[in-house]
Amino acid sequence: MKLSTPHIMEPCSAQFDKVPVIEVTTENLTLVWPKLMECIQKSHFVALDCELSGLGDRKKLNQPSVEDRFVNMNAVAQTRSIVALGLSTFHHRDDYRYQVDTFNLMALCSEDYIVEPGALKFLVEHGFDFQKQYSSGLPYCRGKLEDNPEPPQPSLRRLFQFLVKCQKPLVVHNGLIDLVFLYQSLYAQLPSKLETFVADLTAMFPQGLYDTKYIADYITRHKSSYLEYVFRKEQITNQIKASQNRPHVQLQLGDDETISKYFQWIQYRWCGIETAGDNQNLSENGVCENFANHGHCVNGQKCTVSHNIDDILSHKESKKWKRDWKTANPEEARSNGSSDESQSSTSRASDRHRAGFDAFMTGFAFATYLVHFTKMPKTPLSFASEHICTESSVNKLYLVCKDFPLNVMKSLFARYSIGHHEALKAIKAASVQSISGILANLPESSEKQ
């Protein structure tokens, strides 16, 4: 939902029912740009998510050979496009408290690209505004910068360059395909070999890559690992731990100055809990098992059984977990989460599938993983893996239909690509106001990064 007047933000808390997302288009990029740069520069980790115009033949993307998968991903990234980029920055204060800022950047490839009917249907069903994308999406050209020179002004490519330059830990969810698209769309021409691409990633993100789908499947062992399930399970678990005075994550979602300055472009994404750990709201036919297990259903919105994530959690989780939730939230348990601001279940589900909000869910899942499943200190020296105790999960990207991850580690025999060398030179030499000037003018943080 979009508000016409600014809302005063609530204090840092474990409980939240909506997330402010700044929509970024050609109409406001110049105005929002300094805020984007500041949020990235001050953050301790950044979560990303991409909405794409298609993925091609899924069988080719899931071939037995991981190298063959990359070859097909490479081809797909050169013929499809990013239509929206979600970015959520997490700045750790102390005691597991984070300042969070989330952006949804509409993207428009300036070259011809394929839009697949299935992807189009999914995006339309989840409220994607194609009219806004084509009228005010941020233009970009794929491939290397020399082939597509850009003027020295804010752009998606310069945003990605800045992200690489700042060397923040990057968090994705089932993010290999996103990283392939980001590389081809906003960085350089993709190398032909997987080992070269992996080597480039290690240099681009030296503080590490994290994949919350890999973490959910192989470390925390969630019963399902699709993003909405992982987020909701962690959101409720985090509130349970807060009620028990156990370590938990607290969020400050935006700040009053940001909300006031950018309110006309802020959309609030609803994520309030509708049920409280019981089955009172289940439809007569129960939950959709396909959606409950995998996060998608071939019948889509025509499915006659429930896709509601709270129904699914109520159906899948243990009785003890549900009792803890009801004990922690007695008022919500009685009212089943009713709210004057709440929307219909359909519109809420639609709200929850946007690149910006998906990036937030990914970042939140990672933040709760750090406090609930690692031995990260309350005030780590930095967010390097050795300081936040994530050696078991860093640089491991989820692979579909495999029982092992893609290890992002440079082989002794692998070389960096020429495209990466050229892109890195351009980043290091950048002196335009949109990157180096803003970085130099930002106030230094007194906290250790």
392 and 57 in contact (C-beta within 8 Å)?
A: no
Tokens of 221: 């062992």
Mean pLDDT of 16-23: 95
Supply 10's token pair: 């609530």
pLDDT of residue 32: 96
pLDDT band at 427; cut points 50, 70, 90: confident
Question: Please, are residues 185 and 142 in contact by the beta-carbon 8 Å criterion?
Answer: yes
User: Is the distance from CB of 76 to CB of 179 less than 8 angstroms?
Assistant: no
Looking at residue 47, its pLDDT comes to: 99
Helix crossing, 176-186 with 156-166: angle to 10°?
A: 120
Q: In Å, how far from its chain's centre is CA 99?
A: 16
What predicted TM-score, i.e. pTM, was given to this entire model? 0.88
- C-alpha angle 91/93/97, rounded to 5°? 90
| Cα–Cα distance measured from residue 70 to residue 111, given in angstroms and rounded to the nearest whole number | 22
Domains parsed from the chain with CATH numbers = 18-218+357-441 (3.30.420.10), 278-338 (no CATH)
Residue 447 has pLDDT above 90, yes or no: no
Backbone angles phi, psi at 102, to 5 degrees: -125, 140
pLDDT per residue over 281-333, tens digit each?
A: 455 568 887 777 777 777 777 787 878 788 888 777 766 777 777 777 655 44
Query: What pLDDT score was predicted for residue 343?
Result: 43
Beta bridge partners of 252: 99
- Model pLDDT, residue 335: 42
8 Å CB contact between 294 and 223: no
pLDDT in tens, 341-399: 444 333 444 455 789 999 999 999 999 999 999 999 999 999 999 999 999 999 999 99
